[in-house]
């Protein structure tokens, strides 16, 4: 039996007639160093350029192209998808540049403010292109959110604890805030979120729900950044099928036309 990932790769190549061209920004960062070799090995993905402040301003010869100037790179290679893991201020520039060059941004940056997400959504409308701004590409974390949606129907009292490595700049994490937003729909008071930053950790999210004489704990642990790869590849392969601002990996797992249609919020 052919694995589902392999079937999807064949379908994408078959539909497009050629591999999905991708530019990776933040190539020298924690996630960039994990993502680059993976993209370079996928048969249906063509990593055409990498962007990092560590590279020269003018495109260096070689494959993939290496450069610190994203607009310059986009003008040269015209990719279908631009992948970014950085910080909100930089990601906003990446998203705008990608849309300006007809590319779909797939962003794993966290820490965006509500107003910044509204700006991205408005950019999607103006450009007619989607933007995938997903705080957690882990399939396990996506399942956690699904389970929590069911659990909160029966145990509405809950709190969230998130733990990350000491180098993570935003607190609470984007995943924790997204969980709180999803599970807190219709509430007048917010869901308490507790943050921990310690060495030795990667990404950990725990939801504790309480009831009369009982409590339920749902927890997801990332032991390495490789857990984000399957979800990222899914987002790259389905980016062109999306519409508007997409903030949840779960949207990409829904079958049928219009897969990954964001709510624009």
pLDDT digits (tens, 9 = 90+) for 116-168: 999 999 999 999 999 999 999 999 999 999 999 999 999 999 999 999 999 99
**Which of the pair, 6 or 182, is modelled with greater confidence?**
182
Question: Taking Cα atoms as reference points, which of 216, 255, 251 lies closest to residue 4?
Answer: 255
Position 17 pLDDT exceeds 70: no
Is 113 catalytic? The answer is: no
Q: Give the pLDDT confidence score for residue 62 in this predicted structure.
A: 79
Exactly one of 90, 101, 113, 168 is catalytic; which is it? 168
Taken in order of first residue, the domains within the chain and their CATH numbers are: 4-133+226-252 (3.40.50.720), 139-223 (3.30.360.10)
Q: How far is CA 71 from CA 46, 87, 95, 105, in A?
A: 19, 18, 11, 13
CB 136 within 8 A of CB 174: yes
- Quote the pTM value: 0.83
Does residue 257 surpass a pLDDT of 60?
Answer: no
* Rounded-to-integer distance, Cα 220 and Cα 98, Å: 32
Our answer to whether residue 168 is catalytic in this structure is yes
Instruction: Find the catalytic residue in 164, 204, 205, 220.
Output: 164
DSSP letter assigned to residue 190: P
């Amino acid at each position: 039996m052919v694995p589902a990932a392999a079937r999807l790769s064949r379908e994408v190549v078959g539909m497009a007639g050629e591999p999905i061209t991708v530019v990776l920004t933040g190539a020298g960062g924690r996630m960039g160093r994990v993502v680059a070799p993976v993209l370079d090995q996928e048969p249906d993905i063509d990593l055409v350029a990498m962007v990092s402040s560590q590279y020269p301003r003018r495109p260096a010869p070689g494959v993939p192209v290496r450069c610190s100037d994203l607009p310059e790179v986009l003008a040269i290679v015209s990719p279908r998808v631009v992948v970014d893991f950085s910080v909100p201020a930089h990601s906003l520039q990446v998203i705008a540049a990608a849309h300006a060059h007809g590319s779909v941004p797939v962003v794993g940056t966290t820490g965006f403010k509500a107003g910044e997400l509204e700006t991205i959504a408005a950019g999607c409308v103006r450009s007619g292109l989607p933007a995938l701004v997903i705080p957690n590409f882990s399939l396990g974390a996506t399942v956690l959110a699904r389970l929590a949606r069911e659990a909160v129907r029966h145990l509405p009292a809950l709190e969230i604890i998130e733990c990350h490595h000491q180098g993570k700049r935003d607190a609470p994490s984007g995943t924790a805030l997204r969980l709180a937003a999803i599970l807190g729909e219709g509430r007048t008071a917010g869901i308490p979120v507790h943050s921990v930053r310690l060495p030795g950790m990667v990404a950990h999210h725990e939801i504790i729900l309480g009831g009369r004489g009982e409590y339920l704990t749902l927890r997801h642990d990332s032991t390495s950044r490789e857990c984000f790869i399957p979800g990222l590849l899914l987002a790259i392969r389905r980016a062109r099928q999306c519409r508007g601002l997409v903030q949840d990996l779960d949207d990409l797992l829904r079958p049928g036309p219009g897969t990954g249609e964001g709510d624009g919020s």
